[in-house]
Amino acid sequence: MSTNPVSPATLALPKIAIRDVFKRFDGAPTNALENINLDIQANEFVTFVGASGCGKSTLLRTIGGLEVQTSGELLVDGKLVEGPGIDRAMVFQHYSLYPWMTVCQNIKFCRQLAAHTKDRTSSDVEAADGRADALLRLMGLQAMGHAWPNQLSGGMQQRVAIARALMGRPDIVLMDEPFGALDAQTREVMHDLIRYVHKLEKATIVFVTHDVEEALYLGGRVVLMAPRPGRIDTVYDVPFGDQRTQDLKHAPEFLRLKRDILDRIRETSGMKTDLEQLQRMTGAATA
Ligand SMILES: Nc1ncnc2c1ncn2[C@@H]1O[C@H](COP(=O)(O)OP(=O)(O)OP(=O)(O)O)[C@@H](O)[C@H]1O
């Protein structure tokens, strides 16, 4: 008889299970999501790419419980998702910090809301303060705790938003183009920071982006979605291990995979056909 209290079935339980998910918005001509099936394991870092309108954000919002699927099931730890929960934190492209609160107050805000719904002890408050300080240090913002959001750069504001999302120790962090508004250099810094955060906090990260290089550098798997209807086209296992540095972005194997994914995005979006038509037209015009 086994003395292991964890059954093989429990070990195999995915953190997020997406089963036959369809989503049709009212009046829409096609499904925003069609027949989506995917398992995401605990502590995975999965990135989603694909042409505009292929359903990346809709899928992320559905995992977050902000959107309800038309049919199919979404499970977290084997339990049906029936709305937002503290186990899943979201980070969006626009930092959405509260401008009337300092950096520190922004980070602790959700914890303070929770205090209204349950009894709070002084040790809870101390633990929250300690956590907020640790997150400020982790984000390199220890000197900025009393600053106002409008005194921070975009990259700093997004670091505060990430710290706020991490404050409640979520199991899952859902990120919708979080670095989309940042300049290239700040993005690079954020890439290494978020990889470090993933390693340290051991959260499962689901990350939506338009940027294939970003998807490949961050993800253990890259899920490529295609539009009209929104569906999963290809899941790429990223073969670069855990120790990644910015140099990887120039490695031939990285560039080859990036090229493959970009080509596939063009094919699935119809962009390639449009470009070929344009070339034929301009070729014809200059002939
Ligand atoms: N609230 C909504 N009501 C109606 N249609 C919607 C709504 N949200 C999204 N859609 C439609 O669903 C499809 C998928 O949109 P979604 O925003 O998920 O795609 P996306 O891949 O995230 O796009 P992008 O990369 O441009 O942000 C699109 O056709 C979009 O117009």
The CATH number linked to 285 is 3.40.50.300
Residues 196 and 251 both lie in one domain: yes
Q: To test ligand 1's pocket by mutation, which of 33, 57, 92, 177 has the most ligand atoms within 8 angstroms of CB?
A: 57
Residues 59 and 181 both lie in one domain: yes
Domain residues for 236? Answer: 23-87+170-287
Residue-wise pLDDT tens digits, 50-78: 999 999 999 999 999 999 999 999 999 99
Residues 135 and 226 both lie in one domain: no
Q: To test ligand 1's pocket by mutation, which of 22, 25, 30, 209 has the most ligand atoms within 8 angstroms of CB?
A: 25
Residue 146 has pLDDT above 80, yes or no: yes
Residues 71 and 190 both lie in one domain: yes
11, part of any domain:
no
* pLDDT given at position 284: 57
Give pTM, 2 decimals. Answer: 0.88
Residues 62 and 136 both lie in one domain: no
268, part of any domain:
yes
Nearest atom (ligand 1) to Cα of 50:
21
In whole angstroms, give the CA distance from residue 23 to residue 71. Answer: 7
207, part of any domain:
yes
Residues 175 and 268 both lie in one domain: yes
Residues 111 and 146 both lie in one domain: yes
Last residue within a domain, chosen from 135, 169, 203: 169
Residue ID of nearest Cα to ligand 1 atom 11: 32
* pLDDT given at position 3: 42
Ligand 1 in reach of 56 Cβ (< 6 A): yes
Q: To test ligand 1's pocket by mutation, which of 36, 56, 60, 224 has the most ligand atoms within 8 angstroms of CB?
A: 56
203, part of any domain:
yes
Residues 260 and 280 both lie in one domain: yes
Measured in angstroms, how far is the CA atom of residue 53 from the centroid of ligand 1?
Answer: 5
In whole angstroms, give the CA distance from residue 157 to residue 141. Answer: 10
Last residue within a domain, chosen from 116, 146, 169: 169
Last residue within a domain, chosen from 169, 194, 211: 169
More confident residue, 164 or 127: 164
Interstrand relation of 204-208 and 45-50 (parallel, antiparallel or unpaired): parallel
Ligand 1 in reach of 152 Cβ (< 6 A): no
Ligand 1 in reach of 32 Cβ (< 6 A): yes
By percentage, how much of the chain surpasses pLDDT 90? Answer: 68
- ipTM of the prediction: 0.97
Residue-wise pLDDT tens digits, 175-216: 999 998 888 888 899 999 999 999 988 899 999 999 999 999
Ligand 1 in reach of 245 Cβ (< 6 A): no
H or E stretch covering 86: none
Residues 65 and 195 both lie in one domain: yes
Query: CB count, 10 Å around CB of 255?
Result: 14
Ligand 1 in reach of 55 Cβ (< 6 A): yes
How much is the average pLDDT of 91-102? 89
Residue ID of nearest Cα to ligand 1 atom 16: 55
Residue-wise pLDDT tens digits, 105-128: 999 886 655 544 555 565 666 677
Residues 151 and 174 both lie in one domain: no
Interstrand relation of 172-176 and 33-40 (parallel, antiparallel or unpaired): unpaired
94, part of any domain:
no
282, part of any domain:
yes
Give 203-238 as a DSSP string: -EEEEE-S-HHHHHHH-SEEEEEETTTTEEEEEEEP
Residue ID of nearest Cα to ligand 1 atom 24: 52
Residues 30 and 122 both lie in one domain: no
Residues 151 and 196 both lie in one domain: no
Question: What's the number of domains the chain is made of?
Answer: 2
